Amino acid sequence: EKKGWKYETMEAQETEVGGFNKIVTNITGKFVYGTLRWESGVHRVQRVPVTESQGRLQTSTVTVAVLPEAEEADIKINPGDVRVDVMRAGGPGGQCVNTTDSAVRLTHIPTGIVVIQQDQKSQIKNKEKAWQVLRARLFDLEQSKLDAERSANRKSMIGNGDRSEKIRTYNYPQDRITDHRINLSVHNLPSFMMGNMDEMLDALNVYAKEEQFNAIDNA
C-alpha cells in the first residue's frame, strides 16, 4: 500500500483451528518482483504467546515463495501435458461457492505440479487463475534450473533457489529482526511488520549486486 501496489488474494486455505495452511497473493506494481524476491525462504518467528503462563519463548516458521508472473509468451505449456479436473469446492462455512462444481485442479504430468483454484464461484475464473499460477510455477522451476546450473560452482547466500534454509528471524521479546544472509539486525519490529522494510531490502539488493559482480569476476 505504501508503494502503491495492487494485490489480490487468489487462494487462502484456512485451518479448522484458526490460521492458514497456505495463502497465494498476486501483487502488481512498479518493481514488485525486484523488491520482494529476497523474501523467498523460511521466516522464523520467536515470541511468548499470550497463552504461555511460564513465559517460555516459542518458535514458529513460515515458508515464503516469491514468483514472477509468467505470461503465455514466457513459457509454453503443451495442453496435452495438463490434466484438468473440476470438482466441488471445499472449505469452512458452507458458503455458496461449495454448492457447484466450480473448483479446478490442474496437474502438470511431466513435473507433477498440481494447482487447485476454488476461491471464485465461476469455474471459468477459477480455471483462468489456475493456469496463471501454473505458468508462474513452471517459469520459476525453469529459472531455478538455470540458477542452479550457473551457480553450481559458486558460493551464494542470495538467489540460489534454496528455500529450505532459514533466512530471517523475528524476535518479539528483543524487538529485533535479523536477516541471516547478510548478518543485519534492525529494531522496531512493529514498524517493520507494517511495511517499513526499506533499510533491510536496500541492504539485500546491494549485497545481491556485489555477489553478481563477484561471480562475474570469478567466472
Beta bridge partners of 106: 84, 115
Domain stops at, among 105, 125, 150:
150
pTM, two decimal places: 0.62
Average confidence (pLDDT) over 204-209: 89
- Give the SS3 label for residue 200: helix
Q: In this structure, what are the phi and psi dihedrals at residue 89, rounded to the nearest 5 degrees?
A: -65, 145
Same domain, yes or no: 138 and 189 = no
Domain harbouring 59, CATH code: 3.30.70.1660
| Cα gap 145→34, rounded to integer Å | 19
pLDDT in tens, 23-67: 999 999 998 988 898 898 899 999 998 887 888 889 988 888 888
Residue 171 has pLDDT above 80, yes or no: yes
With cut-offs at 50, 70 and 90, classify the pLDDT of residue 219.
low
Same domain, yes or no: 173 and 211 = yes
Same domain, yes or no: 91 and 146 = yes
Same domain, yes or no: 184 and 212 = yes
Domain harbouring 118, CATH code: 3.30.160.20
Average confidence (pLDDT) over 80-99: 70
How much is the mean pLDDT over the chain?
Answer: 83
pLDDT in tens, 183-201: 999 999 999 999 999 999 9
Residue 160 or 51, more confident? 51
pLDDT number for residue 151: 52
Cβ pair 80, 59 in contact under 8 A: no
Average confidence (pLDDT) over 196-210: 91
**Would residue 26 count as lying in a domain?**
no
- Indicate the number of domains in the chain: 2
With cut-offs at 50, 70 and 90, classify the pLDDT of residue 102.
confident
**Would residue 172 count as lying in a domain?**
yes
pLDDT number for residue 65: 86
**Would residue 17 count as lying in a domain?**
no
Cell numbers that stand for 218 in this block: 570469478
pLDDT number for residue 99: 57
**Would residue 121 count as lying in a domain?**
yes
**Would residue 210 count as lying in a domain?**
yes
**Would residue 175 count as lying in a domain?**
yes
**Would residue 129 count as lying in a domain?**
yes
pLDDT number for residue 93: 43
Q: Give the range of the structural domain holding residue 187, as residue numbers without chain letter.
A: 31-65+163-218
| Cα gap 170→20, rounded to integer Å | 19
Cβ pair 205, 38 in contact under 8 A: yes
Residue 20 has pLDDT above 70, yes or no: yes
**Would residue 201 count as lying in a domain?**
yes
Cell numbers that stand for 174 in this block: 528483543
